Amino acid sequence: MILNLLTNLSYYIPEIVSIVTMCALLFLEASYKASEKSRTMVFVASLIGLVVVLFSLISNMSLEPVSLFASAVVVDKFSTLTKILMTLGTLGVVYLSYKSKDIYTGLKSEFLIMAMGVLVGGMLLSSANNLLTVYLGIETLSILSYVMSSFKRHESSSTEAGMKYALYGGISAGIMLFGMSHIYGVLGTIQFSEMVPLLKELTGANLAVMLISFVLFFVGVGYKIACFPFHMWSPDVYQGSPLPVTTFFALVPKFAGLAVLVRISFVFFSNEGALQIGWIGLIQVVAALTMTVGNVTAIGQDSLKRLLAFSSIGHVGMMLLGVVAVSESTTRIILFYSIAYLFMTLVVFYVVSTISDKYGTDSHSVIKGLIYRHPLMAIVMSIALFSLAGLPPFSGFVAKFNMLSAVIESKYYALAFVAAINSVISLYYYMRIIKMMIVEQPETNEKIETFNFINQALITVYAIPVLFLGIFWEKIMLISDGAKIFIVP
C-alpha cells in the first residue's frame, strides 16, 4: 500500500512542487519585512517554482496514462497538457502582477501565493476522476479566487466583485453538490469508472433523475467557466479585480473548468442514448446562448476590462462547441483553442494593463491613437484582437476553423451558422478597439515610456505564437491530438 502510494506520488510531482512552492513562498513572505527586496525574492522564487512545475509537466507528457490514489485522479496526456497551459498562464500573470500598479504593493506576494493555490486547485480539477475530487478541485479553485477578486479592498467595486463571486460561487457549488448527492443516491458510487457501467443500465425514473442531476452538476462547472446563464458574475469580477487577477481568471479557472467538462462528457456521454441526447442538447443550447449573449453584450461596453470579460464569455461559448461534438477530435480542438486563446489573452491583457496603469482608467478613450504613442504595443494588440475575432492568418482563425469543423462534422449545421454569425458580431467590437488604436488620432502626443525592454520582449514573445500558430499549426495540432482522455477501465 505504502509502496503503491510512493510510486503514485512520482506521477504527482508537478502538484507536489506547486504545493511546496506555495508553502515556501508563504514562509519567505512571512519571515522578511515587507520591502522591495523581499517582494523580488518571492517573485523570483515563484518563477523558479513554476518553471520546475512546467518542466516536470513536460516530462510527464511522455508517461503512459494512469489512475492514482485509488482512482481519485487520473494523469493522462489531456490533463497534463491542460496543466501545462494553466502553468503557462500563471507564469504570464506572475510577471504582470510584479510590474502592475493595480495590485497594492503590500499584496503582491500574497497574490503569488494564492495564484499557486489556485493552480493546484486547477490541476486537481483537470485530472479529477471521481465526484469528490471534482468538488474538492472546484472549491480549492474558488475559495482563493474569492479573496483574489477583492484584492483592491479599499475600492467598493473590488469588494463588490469579491462578494458577488463568493455568493454566486457558494450557491452554485451547493447546487452542484446537491446534484452529486443524487448521482450518488442513484448509483451508489462516486468513482467515474464504476459509474459508467451502471449508467448504461439505467431506465425510467432513475434515468430522468440522473439527467436532472447532471444538469445540476453542470451548474457548478458552468459557473466556473462563466457560461450562460451563470455568467453574470464575470463582468463585475473582471472589472472589479486588479488586472493581473482578471487575466488570471480569464485563463486558469476557465481551462480547469473546461477540462473537467470535457472529461465528464467523454466518460459519461460518449455512448449513444437518452443521456447523451440530453447532455448534448443542453450544451448546444448553452453554447449558442453563451456566445450570443457574450458577444452582443460586449458591443456596448466602454470599460476595456468589461469588454474583455464579455468577449471571454463569447469564447467560452465557442469552446463549448467542441464539447458538443463528443468525437475523437474534441480534445484536440479544445486544447488547440485553449493554446491559441492563452496567448491572445496574455497579449491583450498585457497591453490593457500597461495602459490602464499609466492613465488610471481602462475606458476606451485611453487607447486612442496608441499607434502614435507606442507602435509596437498597438501592432501586437491588433494582431491579438484580429486573432480573437478569428481572422486568418492568425491562430484564432485556425482555432475557430477547427471548432466549426467539429460541429459540422457532427452535422449540427444550425449551430455552425450561429457560431459564424457570432464571429461577425465579435469582429465588430474588436475592430472598434483596433480602429481607436490605429485610425483615430491620440488625445495627447505623449509617448508611453513606462514600457521597458523586458515588457516589449515579453509581448513580442506572446505574440509570436499568435502569428505562428495561424500558419504552421500542424505540430501543435498533432500534440493536442495525442492528448487523449484516459478512461479508467
Partner 1 sequence: MSGLLNWILWLPVIGMIAILFVPKDKKDLIRTFGVVTTSITFLLTLVLYAKFNTSIGGMQPEFLIKVPWIEQFNIFYSLGVDGISLPMVVLTGLLFLICTVSSWSVDKQVKSYYVLLLMLQSSVFGVFFALDFFLFYVYWEVMLLPMFFLIGIWGGENREYAAIKFFLYTFFGSIIMLVGIIALYYATGKGVDSFNILALQGGHFTKEVVTLFGTEFSFEKLFFWAMFLGFAIKVPVFPFHTWLPHAHVQAPTAVSVILAGVLLKMGTYGFLRIAFPIFPMASVEYSTVIAVLGCISVLYGAFCAMAQSDVKKLVAYSSVSHMGFVMMGMAAMTVQGMNGAVLQMFNHGTSTAMMFLMIGVIYERSHHRWIVKPDGSKGYGGLYSHMPKYSIIFIIGMFASLGLPGLSGFISEALIFLGIFNRFTTITVFAVLGLLLGAAYLLWMFKRMFFGEASAEVKSYPDMSIREVGYMIPLCVAVIVFGIYPSPILNVMKASVAQLLDLLGKFS
Interface residues toward partner 1, by CB under 8 A: 386, 391-393, 397, 401, 404-405, 408-409, 411, 413-414, 416-417, 420-421, 423-424, 427-428, 431-432, 435, 438-440, 473-474, 477-478, 481
Assess contact for 144 and 93: CB atoms under 8 A: no
Closer Cβ to partner 1, 405 or 456, answer by number: 405
Minimum distance of partner 1 from residue 475's CB (angstroms): 10
How far apart are CB 390 and partner 1 at their closest, in Å? 8
Least Å distance between CB 404 and partner 1? 5
**Closer to partner 1 at the Cβ: 346 or 406?**
406
For cell 492613465, what's the residue?
359
Shortest distance in whole angstroms from residue 428 CB to partner 1: 6
Task: Find, among 15, 102, 154, 171, the residue nearest to 354 by Cα.
Answer: 102
For the CB of residue 483, give the shortest distance to partner 1 in the complex, in Å. Answer: 15
Q: What is the DSSP secondary-structure string of 42-102?
A: HHHHHHHHHHHHHHHHHHHTTSPPEEETTTTEEE-HHHHHHHHHHHHHHHHHHHHHHH-SS
Q: Which is nearer to partner 1, 338 or 423 (CB)?
A: 423
Taking the least distance from each CB to partner 1, the nearer of 336 and 343 is: 336
Residue 116's closest CA among 233, 238, 189, 21?
Answer: 21
Measured distance CA(487)–CA(74) in Å, rounded? 9
**Residue with Cβ nearer partner 1 (66 or 438):** 438
Q: How far is the CB of 337 from partner 1 (least distance, A)?
A: 15
Question: In this complex, which beta carbon is closest to partner 1, that of residue 27 or of residue 413?
Answer: 413
Residues composing the chain: 489
Q: Given the complex with partner 1, which of 27 and 417 has the nearer CB atom? A: 417
**Exposed e or buried b per residue across 456-480, where buried means at least 16 C-beta atoms within 10 angstroms of its C-beta:** eebbeebbebbbbbbeebeebbebb
CB atoms inside a 10 Å sphere around CB 438: 16
CB of 399 to partner 1, least distance (A): 13
In sequence order, the 6+-apart residues with CB closer than 8 A to the CB of 46 are 21, 25, 94, 112, 115, 116
Closer residue to partner 1 (CB): 358 or 432: 432
Please state the closest distance from residue 281 (CB atom) to partner 1, in A: 13
Whole-number Cα distances in Å, 210 to 197, 259, 271, 462: 14, 21, 15, 44
Q: How far is the CB of 212 from partner 1 (least distance, A)?
A: 25
Give the three cell numbers for residue 327: 468525437
Q: Which is nearer to partner 1, 352 or 469 (CB)?
A: 469
Per-residue cell: 241: 479585480
Q: Determine the Cα–Cα distance for residues 425 and 295; give it in Å rounded to an integer.
A: 6
Instruction: Respond yes or no on whether the N-terminal peptide bond of residue 393 is cis (omega within 30° of 0).
Output: yes
Nearest to 371 by CA among 392, 355, 353, 387: 355
Q: What is the largest CA-CA distance in the chain?
A: 70
Closest CB 306 distance from partner 1, rounded Å:
21
Nearer to partner 1, 27 or 428 (CB): 428
The Cβ of residue 39 has, within 10 Å, a number of other Cβ atoms equal to 18
